[in-house]
């Protein structure tokens, strides 16, 4: 009886970043979600509309990475009304974080995307996951490796090249550099909330439909580890968006909750 109670309680936790969480269990702060499995802050239709509109504004040139990045930051400011960028965290031991560097964000807005290679729960990832703080766990058990260095970087690049259709890439590789062509693709650097800094964003999973405009796929910062199945060149691509929980002002750092409890 008590065993079943504990087992259910354990299953209700969604440990987004397992290795870091185990090290920091005592200091954890939890995001509470009431009722069932649905913790989406905005609808899938809203996510799809935002991504389609925003990605269609972006420019792309793999040779001029830095100037394209700057142009696309301006487009972000013009189109979304805010800009997010990576900078040293306000937390003394927080490494790099993500900040709203221009404008302000309304509640319920997509502020970032979590880039990376998508693994099904059964796929091998031992070497990629060793000492890797960027492995994100989705609610359905899929994993996203958002590490932009070492073996993870190599694996992501190889899978993108494998899946290209003729000269066309179906996902973005520039998030592995300091100049992501899609400036939303920095969500892997968002730090965990603390007592002084409550979460102002939350993760939400979304599957890009197979009929998503093909010419915009090159801006999607996620790709599958496994190759496509026969007769299925384009799949629904899992993406993770970070959605604002409240109004976020210029200069604020983004914080998420690495733990979510569903009651
Ligand atoms: C997904 S990464 C976030 C990016 C990280 N800040 C960096 O510079 O690479 C997760 C890691 O960030 C650090 N981190 C996240 N939240 C933190 C916090 N509240 N306090 C201290 N370190 C934190 C931990 O080292 C954790 O393993």
Q: Residue 4: is its pLDDT beyond 80?
A: no
Predicted pLDDT at 22: 56
Nearest to 244 by CA among 146, 125, 108, 128: 108
Sorted by sequence, the CB contacts under 8 Å of residue 111 that are 6+ apart come out as: 82, 84, 100, 105, 184, 201, 242, 243, 244, 248, 254
**More reliable by pLDDT, 9 or 207:** 207
Q: Residue 212: is its pLDDT beyond 90?
A: yes
Q: Residue 137: is its pLDDT beyond 80?
A: yes
Q: Residue 254: is its pLDDT beyond 70?
A: yes
Residue 202, strand partner residues: 243
Predicted pLDDT at 223: 95
Straight-line distance from the first to the last Cα atom of the chain, in angstroms, rounded to the nearest whole number: 19
- Which ipTM did the prediction report? 0.99
Domain boundaries, the chain: 2-262
The average pLDDT across 23-42 equals 60
- With the most atoms of ligand 1 within 8 angstroms of its CB, the residue from 29, 91, 133, 134 to mutate is 133
Predicted pLDDT at 32: 56
Q: Is the CB of 256 under 6 A from ligand 1?
A: no
Predicted pLDDT at 19: 58
Span from the CA of 192 to the centroid of ligand 1 (angstroms):
7
> Ligand 1 atom 22: the closest Cα is on which residue?
94
Predicted pLDDT at 30: 53
> Ligand 1 atom 21: the closest Cα is on which residue?
94
Q: Is the CB of 189 under 6 A from ligand 1?
A: yes
The average pLDDT across 202-213 equals 94
**More reliable by pLDDT, 19 or 76:** 76
261: pLDDT confidence band, cut at 50, 70 and 90? low
Highest mean pLDDT among 6-20, 62-76, 78-92: 78-92
Q: Residue 26: is its pLDDT beyond 90?
A: no
Q: Which CATH architecture has domain 2-262?
A: Beta Complex (2.170)
Q: Is the CB of 94 under 6 A from ligand 1?
A: yes
DSSP string, the chain: -HHHHHHHHHHHEEESSHHHHHHTGGG---EEE-SSS---SS-HHHHHHHHHHHHHH----SSSHHHHHHHHHHHHHHHHSEEEEEEE-SSTT--EEEEEEEE-B-TT-EEEEE-EEEE-TTS--HHHHTT-TTEEE-TTS-EEE---SHHHHHHHHHHHHHH-BTTB-SS--GGGSSS-SSTTTTGGGPEEP-SSS---EEEEEEEEPTTS-GGGGGG--EEESSPPPTT--S-PEEEEEEEESS-B-TTPBPEE-SEEEE-
Distance CA 15, CA 251 (A): 28
The average pLDDT across 162-188 equals 95
Computed over every residue of the chain, the mean pLDDT equals 87
The average pLDDT across 237-263 equals 89
Q: Is the CB of 188 under 6 A from ligand 1?
A: yes
Counting from 1 in the atom list of ligand 1, the atom nearest the Cα of 193 is: 19
33 is written with which tokens? Answer: 């979600």
Counting from 1 in the atom list of ligand 1, the atom nearest the Cα of 23 is: 27
Q: Is the CB of 132 under 6 A from ligand 1?
A: no
Tokens 């693709």: give the residue.
185
203: pLDDT confidence band, cut at 50, 70 and 90? very high
Q: Is the CB of 174 under 6 A from ligand 1?
A: no
Predicted pLDDT at 50: 97
Q: Residue 84: is its pLDDT beyond 70?
A: yes
- Strand pairing class (259-262; 31-33): parallel
């Amino acid at each position: 009886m008590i065993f079943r109670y504990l087992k259910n309680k354990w299953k209700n936790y969604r440990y987004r970043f397992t290795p870091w969480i185990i090290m920091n269990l005592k200091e954890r702060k939890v995001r509470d979600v009431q009722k069932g499995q649905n913790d989406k802050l905005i609808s899938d239709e809203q996510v799809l509309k935002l991504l389609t509109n925003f990605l269609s504004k972006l420019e792309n040139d793999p040779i001029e990475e830095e100037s394209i990045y700057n142009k696309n930051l301006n487009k972000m400011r013009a189109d979304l009304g805010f800009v997010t960028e990576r900078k040293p965290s306000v937390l003394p031991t927080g490494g790099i974080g993500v900040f709203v560097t221009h404008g302000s964000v309304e509640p319920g807005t997509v502020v970032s995307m979590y880039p990376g290679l998508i693994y099904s729960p059964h796929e091998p990832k031992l070497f990629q996951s060793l000492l890797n703080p960027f492995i994100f766990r989705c609610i359905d058990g899929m994993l996203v490796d958002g590490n932009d260095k070492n073996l993870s970087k190599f694996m992501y690049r190889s899978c993108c090249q494998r899946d290209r259709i003729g000269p066309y890439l179906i996902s973005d590789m520039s998030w592995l550099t300091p100049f992501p062509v899609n400036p939303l693709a920095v969500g892997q650097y968002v730090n965990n909330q603390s007592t002084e800094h409550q979460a102002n964003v939350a993760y939400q999973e979304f599957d890009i439909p197979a009929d998503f405009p093909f010419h915009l796929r090159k801006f999607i910062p996620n790709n599958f580890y496994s190759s496509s199945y026969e007769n299925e060149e384009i799949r629904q691509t899992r993406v993770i968006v970070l959605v604002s929980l409240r109004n976020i002002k210029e200069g604020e750092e983004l914080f998420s909750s690495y733990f979510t409890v569903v009651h």
